[in-house]
A and B are shown apart, each in its own frame.
Chain A
Amino acid sequence: MSSMTTSILPRPIHPTGLWAWLTTIDHKRIGILYGVTAFIMFLSGGIEAMYIRLQLAAPEQELVSPEIYSQLFTMHGTTMIFLAIMPMGAAFFNYLIPLQIGARDVAFPRLNAFSYWTFLGGAVMLKSSWFLGGAPNAGWFGYAPITSSAYNPGHGIDFWILSLQILGIASLAAAFNFIVTIINLRAPGMSLMRMPIFTWMTFVTSILLILAFPVITVALIEVMFDRFFGTNFFNVGAGGQPLLWQHLFWVFGHPEVYILILPALGIIAEVIPTFSKKPLFGYPVVVLSGVVIGFMGWMVWSHHMFTVGLGPVANSVFAVTTMAIAVPTGVKIFNYMATMWKGSISLTTSMLYAIGFIFLFVIGGLSGVMHSSAASDAQQQDTYFIVAHLHYVLFGGSIMALGSGIYYWFPKMTGRLMDEKLGKLNFLLVFIGMNVTFFPMHFLGLDGMPRRIYTYDSDMGWNLWNAVSSVGYLILALGVLILIVNIIWSVLSGEKADGDPWDARTLEWSMSSPPPEYNFEQIPIVHGIDPYWEQKREGLSTVPISGGSGDDDSHGIHLPQPSYWPPLASLGLFVSGYGLVYLSSSIGLVVSIIGAAITMVAVYAWSFEPVNDPDEGEGH
């Protein structure tokens, strides 16, 4: 059977160049692809934010029209959540999980490639809506019935629905892959309670993903059917209830919040012990609190809907669960601080970002507890106070942690250290800029400034803090610019890093930087929570853990071979996504059928293609 498929398309055998990247199934390369794409998307979301801050810098401005403004905040939110933070997390999952658990790749390398290319297709599709008749404009949670064709006849919402569906497929495929990888590919001795916290949090995040995404898939299908086929899901005239959308969206949406923050908490738990020279304080409690957050994340969704009128009983229950979920989160924060306590702390840029994370995430967490009280939330709902809160947890939380992760693992990925002077300047500007931008929003919100208004009267008393916030954006943007400069400069001519520049604890540091294609020459044996420290300090290793010796002899290591089919299957989804947007025309119908056919053929050929062609050499 393999001969049949190879006759359609031979196995790609390009070790370098563009084709190597297009057909790669190496988790490290896919991780880098994810990271670069997500960073570009982060910048594009930042540009959308720039227009928002410019427009709001002074009262009664007309830089952008109200129509464009709605598209800007919708795209800013959707981009940052689905195209920047989630895939940035995925970049670290991809690069690090196999290294941390002592595996040579993920469990399904081709599925992994499929995830990335599908994600890229969804991202391009969403962004292309700007140039194809207008971006979506219903906010990132697209409340019904604003998304119905009666109120929103353009194609913007169609792009939003279909690109989110495609991104959902990508996330689901990746999450299945990581669940299986983490359960099934741990090196001997790496029991669950010896896994690095980052791996643990990836595991919890993946479980949240596979359970939460089907819910949004169904919700989006319902909107799609309403728009395309005239069904009545959210048609109030026929008895449909917009409230159903809110429930379905937030049953997905709240676990999604933890999908964004748990990887961040995992990164911090890797960085802080390394730079404090102390094992993580209370490892089992940190694991458990992560699992509890993942579980309780399902019980709090209605706190997004306190002002809908669900009644006092529902509001009280969700208020209590929301307050309760602050407990495991607080436990983690205290564990991180206790890890630093009396540690020998080195204030590298990565560590500064981690400390900045703790500081800012606590502020965001506290304002979160403030609106967990339904009565208090009634004053804050849909004001800038909420905008301030969510930016403190998503920027102050997720992005700061991702920044910490970039500085921490950059030497591992590239073999070069990032510049520390530029790094500290970068951290300082981002930290100050972030606070100057988002802290005044607390005041604006408590003063009653609503979200999503494109301008405001000059006598509302909101002029000063809006101007301050816009200045903050400039500082923040300068900080990000320096990060870009630092990354480019360091890739080209940064100081060379050896395998273990930080005297770190986990297995990924036990090999050369960047790691060899096969990761581990011999699968390591794990003796404890900090296996590499134990190897370095207690000599607890019988197996020479791979790499760096210049010994390129990889005979006997069967690496999965590259394949054309995963990117082709993704291409089919991408094509049919565009076709479905224009389903009302016959061309759209034809295009969507062609796309579906490409995907079907590719999936078929893929399932008949062996992971390794046995007759073709080994060690590619």
Chain B
Amino acid sequence: MIQMKAKVIKGARILQEAVTTQHGTDHEYTTTGLNHRKLLMWAFLGSDCMFFGSLIATYMVYYGKSKVGPFPEDLFSIPITSVSTFVLLMSSMSMVLAYAAIRKGSLKGFRVWILSTALMGMTFLAFQVFEFYEFANHEVHFDCSQVGTGNLSAFEESFQNECIEGVTTVDGIHDSDGNNLTGLTPKTNLFGTTFFTLTGFHGAHVTLGVIWLLSLFFYSFRGGVTRERDLDVDLAALYWHFVDIVWIVIFTVVYLFGVFPGFPES
């Protein structure tokens, strides 16, 4: 009975605390002390892991299964993509600085860093657009004397029939309307299908993130972003870092595995 009473008193104290915290302005009472929205964001990111996991799994299942070119090694430029990867990773750092600034109440610092995060995100997207455009317009150029020497890629070798009497170099393959026939589109082969779908959905995530960051930036001029409401920034930051991490996986699995010989080929 005494034990029971102690339990009851303890319960009452918990309730008392619950009531007092409930009256504090923005911080509603929660069982765990974690904010609802933050918990939601973590659950969402867990779910999004399965989304990208499925897309990456699809890419890997079809890796090396394309029947016609172009293949990854014909298209990827690791130096260029490394630059855009670097920019995206640095944007995570400026995101941290933006969050740190708002935590300290520095609205000016917040604006500088959130804007530079968004700009770096847009730079990454610009690289991606450029890359997609380049891939779609990829042309083969080779010297016919190189055919069969081992200096040409499998994709280039597949056009050796172009080297007919009187042709010394192949400068792009076109149909009668002048359309390039050697570019990569989602329809070209399994590589095109899976590559554009995976990186396209990642790009869509980045786009959404940029819109979110810019919304925060402009909202800060209307008094919407304050030290007390730093959670709004925190949530955007969580999302942004997640999108970055996904890119690290994509860069490794898609770009690095796709170019360097010796990486697993199924």
Contacts and interface: CB of A to CB of B under 8 A. Distances in A.
Contact of B47 (A211, A244, A527): A211
Given A189-B14, A241-B61, A542-B11, A214 B186 contact: no
Contacts of A221: 197
Contact of B39 (A184, A211, A233, A248): A184
A188 B4 contact: no
A320 B18 CA distance: 48
A214 B48 contact: yes
A605 interface: no
A239 B222 contact: no
Interface string B1-19: 0001001100110110010
B44 interface: yes
Nearest to A527: B7
A304 interface: no
Among A180, A230, A523, find the residue whose CB has the most chain B CB atoms closer than 10 A.
Answer: A180
Contacts of B30: 184-185
A608 B232 CA distance: 11
A230 B187 contact: yes
A238 B43 contact: no
B11 A176 contact: no
B32 to A, nearest CB: 6
A401 B197 CA distance: 42
A221 B31 CA distance: 38
Contacts of A188: 11, 14-15, 18
Nearest to A211: B50
Contact of A215 (B54, B186, B190): B54
B8 A232 contact: no
A533 to B, nearest CB: 15
B189 A184 contact: no
B104 interface: no
Interface string B55-82: 1001001100111000000000000000
A107 B190 CA distance: 43
Contacts, number: 134
A189 B14 CA distance: 8
- The binding surface of chain B is classed by DSSP as helix
B260 interface: no
Contacts of B197: 221-222, 225, 231
A232 B187 contact: yes
Contact of A180 (B14, B43, B54): B43
B154 interface: no
Contact of A185 (B31, B192, B193, B219): B31
A543 B51 contact: no
Interface string A206-225: 00001111110111011001
A239 B43 contact: no
B36 interface: yes
Given A180-B40, A231-B186, A540 B51 contact: no
B40 A176 contact: yes
Given A218-B51, A239-B66, A525-B15, A186 B193 contact: no
B31 to A, nearest CB: 4
B58 A218 contact: yes
Contact of A233 (B66, B193, B219): B193
B249 interface: no
Contacts of B222: 1
Nearest to B196: A231
Among B7, B30, B36, B194, find the residue whose CB has the most chain A CB atoms closer than 10 A.
Answer: B36
A210 B11 contact: no
B187 A229 contact: yes
Classify chain A's interface size. Answer: 35 or more
A1 B224 contact: yes
A464 to B, nearest CB: 46
B93 interface: no
Contact of B4 (A176, A219, A244, A540): A540
Contacts of B46: 210-211
B15 A183 contact: no
A169 to B, nearest CB: 11
B262 to A, nearest CB: 23
A211 B194 CA distance: 22
Contact of A179 (B11, B39, B55, B192): B39
B31 A186 contact: yes
A172 interface: yes
A108 interface: yes
A540 B8 CA distance: 7
Contacts of A543: 12, 15
Contacts of B4: 538, 540
Contacts of A107: 36, 39-40
A527 B15 CA distance: 13
B190 A179 contact: no
B225 to A, nearest CB: 11
Contacts of A211: 46-47, 50
B34 interface: yes
A10 interface: no
Nearest to A101: B31
A282 interface: no
Interface in A147-195: 172, 176-177, 179-180, 183-186, 188-190
Nearest to A614: B25
A217 B4 CA distance: 51
A238 B67 contact: yes
Contact of A232 (B36, B40, B55, B189): B189
B200 to A, nearest CB: 10
A109 B167 CA distance: 71
B7 A233 contact: no
Contacts of A186: 31
B54 A225 contact: no
Given A107-B36, A231-B197, 14 more contacts: A179-B39, A188-B14, A210-B44, A211-B47, A218-B58, A219-B54, A230-B187, A231-B192, A238-B190, A239-B190, A240-B190, A525-B11, A540-B8, A543-B15
21 contacts: A172-B47, A176-B47, A183-B31, A184-B30, A184-B39, A189-B11, A210-B50, A211-B46, A214-B50, A215-B50, A218-B54, A232-B193, A239-B62, A239-B65, A239-B190, A240-B190, A244-B62, A523-B15, A525-B12, A526-B11, A527-B8
Interface of B: 4, 7-8, 11-12, 14-15, 18, 30-32, 34, 36, 39-40, 43-44, 46-48, 50-51, 53-55, 58, 61-62, 65-67, 186-187, 189-190, 192-194, 197, 219, 222, 224
Interface of A: 1, 107-108, 172, 176-177, 179-180, 183-186, 188-190, 210-215, 217-219, 221-222, 225, 229-233, 238-241, 244, 248, 251, 523, 525-527, 538, 540, 542-543, 608
Give the top 9 A-B pairs by smallest Cβ distance, nearest first.
Answer: A218-B54, A214-B51, A525-B11, A188-B14, A214-B50, A210-B47, A231-B193, A184-B30, A186-B31
